[in-house]
Amino acid sequence: GEGITEMENKSNKGRLLFLLRYLQQNTDDHHLVTTPELLSVLESVGYPADRKTLYDDIHVLKEDFDIDIITEKHRGNEYFVGAREFELPELKLLIDAVASSRFISARESRKLIDKLSSQASVWQKKDLEPRITIGERVKAPDTRIYYTIDMLNSAIKQKRQVKFQYTEYDSRRRKILRNGGEVYTNSPYDCLWNDDKYYLIGYSEKHQGIVTFRIDRIVNLEILEEKSLPKPKDYRISDFVNKVFRMYDGTLQEVELHCEESMMKQLVDHFGTDFEVITAEDGCFFAKVKVSVSRTFFSWLFQFGNAVRIVGPGQTREEYRRMLEEALRD
């Protein structure tokens, strides 16, 4: 008797798991499945059941496991899975982000998109094709970036140092090791995704300070036994992002800009909303922003042409003019 009970239990578990997977993969609010169809499918895979057993299974999935199985009763029972772990707009957003990302290679992107798509029904998958075709985007070459990220996260969690080599490109676009294969030692603190690039942020004892490395360019990574050096007392990831990525990487000074009205969104993107604005004529405005005057700032400014101009201080205007003249010098 015990053997039969064990076989029945095994059959019950298998049937329940198959039923759950089938409903998730083959039904949605536009594609319902009837009781006879479910019974036929179950029998075809070796899990014969009657109507009462099926109703009981649906009840267990709904009540005990909170699966949102909707039952329509207007033409006999028809079923479909309603709310899912990821709703369709969420999956579309994630898939488009993966397809657009430059640091994930084309092969890795396709694998990740396939995994995300598996969260939807087979009917919904065709609506989840990325709006941006992977082949149309500049993508990183195939790397072991997942493996690198996993190792870095482990090192951060264990508070252990890492060592690695770093790649760059020579004048013939060949990938080479930086500084002849120099091995970099680092106390990793954070991994940061910024402006479609993924960075390691950590402390370099050699440089006595915080440094950044592009994760997709890290190779031959190893976790060391040595404990990471403690974070500097004034280290805050938000402050560091502002300094390195938002043109605050030196002594701050106030710069006055004359801007066309359409440029307000560009200023808010980079400086937030905490800066002084004075309305000018012809739909323009003056803005006083605090920034480190550097090539990073001038490069940002250059892309807007005459739409954003430096009003003062005069010294900053002259620095910008000299940089432009040097770029055009024979």
Q: Return the closest-CA partner of residue 198 out of 300, 97, 102, 91.
A: 102
Q: Return the closest-CA partner of residue 252 out of 286, 277, 288, 287.
A: 288
- Model pLDDT, residue 158: 96
Average pLDDT score, the chain = 84
d(Cα 287, Cα 275) in Å, to the nearest integer?
A: 7
Q: What is the mean pLDDT of residues 172-187?
A: 89
- Model pLDDT, residue 328: 79
Please say if the pLDDT value at position 231 is more than 70.
yes
**pLDDT tens column, 28-57:** 888 899 999 999 999 998 898 988 999 999
Q: How confident is residue 4, by pLDDT bands cut at 50, 70 and 90?
A: very low
Please say if the pLDDT value at position 105 is more than 60.
yes
- Model pLDDT, residue 133: 59
User: pLDDT > 90: what percent of the chain?
Assistant: 28
Q: What is the mean pLDDT of residues 253-268?
A: 89
Q: Which residue has the higher pLDDT, 152 or 241?
A: 152
SS3 236: coil
Q: What is the mean pLDDT of residues 274-303?
A: 86
Please say if the pLDDT value at position 99 is more than 90.
no
pTM of the predicted model as reported, rounded to 2 decimal places: 0.62
Q: What is the mean pLDDT of residues 83-110?
A: 83
- Model pLDDT, residue 226: 96
Q: What is the mean pLDDT of residues 117-123?
A: 86
- Model pLDDT, residue 288: 92
CB within 8 Å of 19: residues ≥ 6 apart: 38, 42, 54, 57, 58, 61
The residue written with tokens 């536009």 in the block is 30
Please say if the pLDDT value at position 247 is more than 70.
no
- Model pLDDT, residue 1: 45
- Model pLDDT, residue 157: 94
**pLDDT tens column, 54-74:** 999 999 999 988 888 999 887
Largest CA distance in the chain: 95
